[in-house]
Amino acid sequence: MNDRLLDEKATRKRLGDIGRSLFYELVGWGELRSVKIGKRRLVPEQAICEYIARLEAQASAVSAA
């Protein structure tokens, strides 16, 4: 498991340059795990991998139906 923490900007870039609003919506909806250290919102790299895997699984389920 990779314990690297990415800041908001790096996370948004990793997710295809999504906007700040969508980033905070994903965090708020519980779709993307994050931690807050001081004023910074950080996302474990593993959480990004899990989120992408869920998106892929949803896409597979839709195309298989």
User: Measured between alpha carbons, how far is 34 from 48 in angstroms, rounded to an integer?
Assistant: 10
Taking only the tens of pLDDT, the chain with its 65 residues reads 558 999 999 999 999 999 999 999 999 999 999 999 999 999 999 999 999 999 999 998 888 76
User: Measured between alpha carbons, how far is 34 from 64 in angstroms, rounded to an integer?
Assistant: 31
Neighbours of 43 (CB within 10 A): 25
Looking at residue 64, its pLDDT comes to: 77
pTM across the whole model: 0.86
> What size, in residues, is the chain?
65
Contact 1, 38 (CB under 8 A): no
**Segment 21-30 long-range contacts (CB within 8 Å, at least 24 positions apart):** 26/51
